[in-house]
Chains A and B, each alone.
Chain A
């Protein structure tokens, strides 16, 4: 059956595939077990070396892939679950998609690990931090390398766990713990959908292995088949949770409570893109369900727009970036919804570069400001932090979509696909793009230009971060600059490197629904105009931000100052958290309090305690039989024997 995926017949490949996730796992075990005993330097070295090792091995796989005949292959490690008809091997699938994700996870992961060694150097739980980071990388690798949905689910849960552990890393602060719990619970809601989707896949296709499922789906299912729509919808619920889409997005901004490298690695570059990876992986199923795709596009667009508006008025440097992440993820789903799978992945890649860069830059700022995150207390950091400023500027330009930085190419390609699909969606996408450029430059002006607004102590403390932190920034800045060239638009070059590379993974979908893949090329003039429009919009936004926050030096209002109603509504994030609180949290709390008071206290407790009391009381009263008088014992014994004999006689 599996004509597209061959088993690897090469022991070397098997070992390489096995080692890639194994290295971070070993790092996790060493750092986790030796948390308090290992010196910080060694812990950091182990943490970084294992991930860099995985990166090198991934590179090896990547460059060996062509030599292997450019064909996807699976490597069976062992037989994992085997119950009746359900056979789930523990095996890895290496194809174009997993290779790209591998390079992303281990590459950006390595850079962020190195950065963390500097950022967390003053933390007392340094080893613990690295062990969690390594565990995260391990889970993420399982997620992207697994050859079936169950392995993906295991990785999916693993990254969720690590996200929880790392958001609540500073677990002595209650709000941080609450943020961790919020992320965990919100993700569980999505995971329920994902899990049901997997069950439905197994019921429908009798397997959970990608090769098998997609083969069957491409041959048996029809377009807009009810079951396929149900499967894809359920899977998408999982993606909504993990990738912070409406209405399950509120955990991501709160997740910023974790250490900044965590925000960069988990909540911007890798884990949150798991939903996109999953949809691209399931492209056959999604292509067969245009109804779902339409929903994906609508929800993605709504999220992009919604989060971007909230980002406009945030004053916490990391919160702005967090809402921008939610917004960009919405963009990616919008692209998935219009079946621009490769463009979506392209944006995942470039976004990983520049958003990781921005987060790490923000981390560098926070480091210099001794933990201050409020933009209103910053300003004029340009001189004190030249490298951070320069790299941050590159990241900001990239996310705003200014050529030739990476964000321009991916965003432009994405918007071009949306334009073909629907002009209205494209207009809203453009609006989002406008807001993105605006709030990113607002952030830039507030933090790096103008007068310093912090305390005297902070002013004296200002310093550029050490090399271990600035070098990752520089690496990511370079990637953000040149990363876009792996997908040049058709007007510049016929050779879209990333698109061509990824093209084989849509083979089955193309066979199942040939019409969906019919090229609808834009004319070159249209493409130029689209490009010009999107750049123009970004430039206008930048100029606006310059006049408001650069030239006039407006500083956002202090906490509690009177705001216009609309401003207030947006500043308070549309009161969505409050809404959820009133709609879900409060009723559930009330219900559980009621259940506790009446069912637990009134019914269950008396029953359980009753058993205990009866036993105790019985023992206490029977104690008096134990008189110690030999005569009475003997009498009882004789009577007992007599009774037994009598019973024997009667019965």
Chain B
């Protein structure tokens, strides 16, 4: 990977940066304003994806494969997390018939 492929170079790095930032902010906003736990989960995925995208972009532009390898790891961890998280949410739904996080306040003092 000594030089940057032509396809990638057609889009400048700045755009990747703007896009990822936008994606990340959408994710954060979603996490903050939505009340459905599943939607929040999806928003978290969105944030992770924005970071993945950024890593990949930097990796490609700097001709360094490390970033892309990290992305694989992040995906694997995210998948595992989703499996556990979804299981928890399903269990909560079964018990409470809701996934509204404003009702889920059992962890307080």
Identify the A interface with B (CB < 8 A).
623, 626-631, 634-635, 638
Contacts and interface: CB of A to CB of B under 8 A. Distances in A.
Contacts of A627: 105, 108
Interface hub of B31, B35, B106 (most chain A Cβ within 10 A)? B31
A631 B28 contact: no
Interface string B9-20: 000000000000
B102 A629 contact: yes
Given A635-B32, A638-B28, A638-B32, A630 B109 contact: no
A623 B109 CA distance: 7
B109 to A, nearest CB: 5
Contact of B105 (A623, A629, A634, A638): A629
9 contacts: A626-B109, A628-B109, A631-B35, A631-B101, A631-B102, A634-B32, A634-B40, A635-B32, A638-B31
Main secondary structure of the interface of A (DSSP, over half): helix
A631 B39 CA distance: 13
A634 B31 contact: yes
A630 B104 contact: yes
Contacts of B32: 631, 634-635, 638
Given A635-B32, A638-B32, A630 B101 contact: yes
B92 to A, nearest CB: 11
A631 B33 CA distance: 8
B107 interface: yes
Given A623-B109, A638-B28, A638-B32, 14 more contacts: A626-B108, A627-B108, A628-B106, A628-B107, A628-B108, A628-B109, A629-B101, A629-B102, A631-B32, A631-B101, A631-B102, A634-B40, A635-B32, A638-B31
A508 to B, nearest CB: 79
A630 B108 contact: no
Contacts of B105: 627-630
Contacts of B109: 623, 626, 628
Interface string B32-61: 100100001000000000000000000000
A634 B102 CA distance: 12
Interface of B: 28, 31-32, 35, 40, 101-102, 104-109
Contacts of A623: 109
A628 B103 CA distance: 9
Contacts of A628: 105-109
A408 B102 CA distance: 104
Contacts of B102: 629-631
Contacts of B28: 638
A634 B104 CA distance: 13
Nearest to B34: A631
Nearest to B31: A634
Nearest to B35: A631
Contacts of A629: 101-102, 105, 108
B35 to A, nearest CB: 7
For the complex of A and B, list the 3 residue pairs with the smallest distance between their C-beta atoms, beginning with the closest. Answer: A628-B108, A628-B105, A630-B101
Contacts of A638: 28, 31-32
A621 to B, nearest CB: 12
